[in-house]
Structure 1
């Protein structure tokens, strides 16, 4: 098992780099090499120190499982690379909290243990969120929560243009709102179209909202989606800066108070509250109406393969503790996540009505690696963000750019 995992992990390292950037370092130990009562735990939350609610929860879950947790935190891309390298060396931690689009990468590399083999019950988890951690009929880990994208709006800018945000229900009504705002002297919409996974992440609601399919990047629906963005730039409804915007710099544009709309996520809620802007949130509309499927962000609690299978008992206990209803509510509040079960989502909305549009968005969301895209997704995504950038910069027409993207993606995923 170790030999197969090591070889597969080597092959997977190339795919991981393409996913970096979509979303404090200290050395970690190994599950196999650790003491029996010390469990190595890696997560992508370097912003949380030992006094944080998150770390105290992790430690408490370890204590309840009868072990001491040795926790290390890394940024997302570094964590994934370390996990693959650890698998090559036969030195994996006991638990890794992984960004959901790389779960299938590590699963395909043979690094992760299926939830079914561990006896973890995932039946209560929302299927659309669980799908991000599934590959060939197996589920790898348990989602700890989810975030996604929606449209923030500036109520003052919309009011000055005579636009009711409730009227924005499809692309036609959104375009009418953008036209009215700019005619009234305001600015329309800002988003991130940078040539990285962030750009694909922000484009997917429009791509999926047009009923486009990631296996057919040059379909008429895909052309319509990228044409929508290009038309906004040509009409002056979106700034040319979107071509280089990250989600952070796009948000900073919205914080000037000049823009009617911004495509961004739940992680900006605290910043929105602090901005002084009279803001609201609505789901990103699909082309013909209703909420578009936006990509899910968030992490899965996963269990790397161990040669000493006796260690799994404590791994399961820690995972079940971290993902229990009471603890999920605390964790998801800390991480600005929507809970992964409908019952907990309803409870979140009951406690904070401002979360209602985010729960609606998460319930319509889709995993980037769903539909068994698995490790094909990063290859397809790179071609997609490249095509979008070429269209927005004027280097290629929508059809030409997407034809090129489809040809390259098909060739690179053919095997």
Structure 2
């Protein structure tokens, strides 16, 4: 996401300490006024997110304002840089100044819900029907839904049609085909393949489809399945099919390399489509991420942000905020937002119609149906595993450790208290 949505780079947040968890649990209910119970008619609501990009913020302004009018309130919309969101949420929780409506990356939902700072959506009868299981689980903590995502995203394989045709290379479907294709597409000044392998959660996000599709699991990183997935990336760098610079590239950098013709294939998300479409001379296609063996379906991570209701001492404010949250997640609004951000509407039926209207999104729509939420297995411990994964990627691709050694170290990081 990183990207308009589902952006792991935007998902790098400060870790919630035990002391802070106790503090938030102790403060319990908070409201957006900062002065205890709110009395009188509710005329405005505060909203906080990390959509700081001008066009993106304006798009959300429009939808939020429309939903505010439906609920009979004025919206005060604030956006902060992605890395600042969670620290700000923790400060506001302790000061009892949380906004009325709060957006969170889905990977952060569980650790914030764990503190008691959020309200279950069932309290206000918000419709949670029609969502794929993985999408709904992204906003769930201990059996209660605390957040809903109007749209979601995942990753796929983008390829340059002209380059593949010129080299006589077919779109790869398996890992063996990927290595062969990447080697066949590599030329002077051009690599066959590119991924984000930098030392952030973005690279962990990009690695998950390879880990999961090979039967690996974030609960135990030091397994043969995980080592095989990491070995694939090592082999691509070692044989020259992938630049060593991937160790420093963000997903935006990977996109730039692809758009400039310096790589023939890349792993990236649908939020890149808007920029790719601006270059009329760039003929690109998108396909599922290659899998270990023919006939398998890739298992990809679920990206996207969920909207939540921070606890408030004002029942009236919470009810109004719930009305706005429900409005954001109506079928029509999820479709509008998905089109604006080149993402996938969260409701399954809406997503299916969208795929018919825009074939370039069909691969992402299909992948989202079976996508996994990053916190699904480890919950609040996911950030430790993610740190272990990108640390292993760095040490293996530099040759500091073998994939097996790197993942043994990763498991130690993930298991540390």
Q: TM-score, normalised by structure 2?
A: 0.88
Distance in 2, Cα, partners of 1:186 & 1:69: 48
1:303 deviation in Å? 0.4
- Alignment partner for residue 409 of structure 2, among 400, 404, 410? 404
Report the more deviating stretch, 75-84 or 88-97.
Answer: 75-84
1:198 equivalenced with 2:208 (yes/no): no
- Alignment partner for residue 231 of structure 1, among 219, 231, 235? 235
Distance in 1, Cα, partners of 2:114 & 2:299: 25
Q: Which residue of 1 aligns with 2:397?
A: 392
Match runs of 1:88-103 below 5 Å = 88-103=94-109
SS of 1:211's equivalent in the other structure is coil
SS of 1:187's equivalent in the other structure is coil
Report the more deviating stretch, 189-198 or 131-140.
Answer: 131-140
Distance in 2, Cα, partners of 1:12 & 1:340: 33
Q: TM-score, normalised by structure 1?
A: 0.88
- Alignment partner for residue 343 of structure 2, among 337, 348, 359? 337
- Alignment partner for residue 122 of structure 1, among 117, 120, 128? 128
Distance in 2, Cα, partners of 1:404 & 1:370: 22
Q: Which residue of 1 aligns with 2:222?
A: 218
1:53 deviation in Å? 3.7
SS of 2:297's equivalent in the other structure is coil
Distance in 2, Cα, partners of 1:179 & 1:348: 35
Distance in 2, Cα, partners of 1:272 & 1:12: 46
Aligned residues: 390
Match runs of 1:374-385 below 5 Å = 374-385=379-390
Distance in 2, Cα, partners of 1:30 & 1:333: 37
TM-aligned CA distance change 1:32 to 1:227, over 3 Å: farther
Query: Tell me, which stretches of 5 or more residues in structure 1 are unaligned?
Result: 1-5, 14-27
- The 8 Å contact of residues 130 and 349 in structure 2, kept in 1 or not, is answered as no
Q: Which residue of 1 aligns with 2:154?
A: 148
Distance in 2, Cα, partners of 1:9 & 1:304: 20
- The 8 Å contact of residues 187 and 260 in structure 1, kept in 2 or not, is answered as yes
Distance in 2, Cα, partners of 1:198 & 1:12: 30
TM-aligned CA distance change 1:49 to 1:179, over 3 Å: closer
1:77 deviation in Å? 2.3
Q: Which residue of 2 aligns with 1:56?
A: 62
1:7 deviation in Å? 9.2
1:131 equivalenced with 2:129 (yes/no): no
- The 8 Å contact of residues 76 and 99 in structure 1, kept in 2 or not, is answered as no
- Alignment partner for residue 184 of structure 2, among 175, 180, 186? 180
- The 8 Å contact of residues 112 and 305 in structure 1, kept in 2 or not, is answered as yes
Deviations 1:176-219 (A, max 9, x none): 21232237995210111001111111111111121101011001
- The 8 Å contact of residues 149 and 294 in structure 1, kept in 2 or not, is answered as yes
TM-aligned CA distance change 1:7 to 1:391, over 3 Å: closer
Deviations 1:235-285 (A, max 9, x none): 111000001111111111111213221111111101111233110000112
Query: Tell me, which stretches of 5 or more residues in structure 2 are unaligned?
Result: 1-15, 24-31
1:364 deviation in Å? 2.8
- The 8 Å contact of residues 311 and 318 in structure 2, kept in 1 or not, is answered as no
- The 8 Å contact of residues 210 and 229 in structure 2, kept in 1 or not, is answered as yes
Distance in 2, Cα, partners of 1:189 & 1:29: 51
TM-aligned CA distance change 1:259 to 1:377, over 3 Å: same
- The 8 Å contact of residues 37 and 314 in structure 2, kept in 1 or not, is answered as no
- The 8 Å contact of residues 30 and 94 in structure 1, kept in 2 or not, is answered as no
1:255 equivalenced with 2:259 (yes/no): yes
1:385 deviation in Å? 0.7
Match runs of 1:263-412 below 5 Å = 263-275=267-279, 276-289=281-294, 290-371=296-377, 373-412=378-417
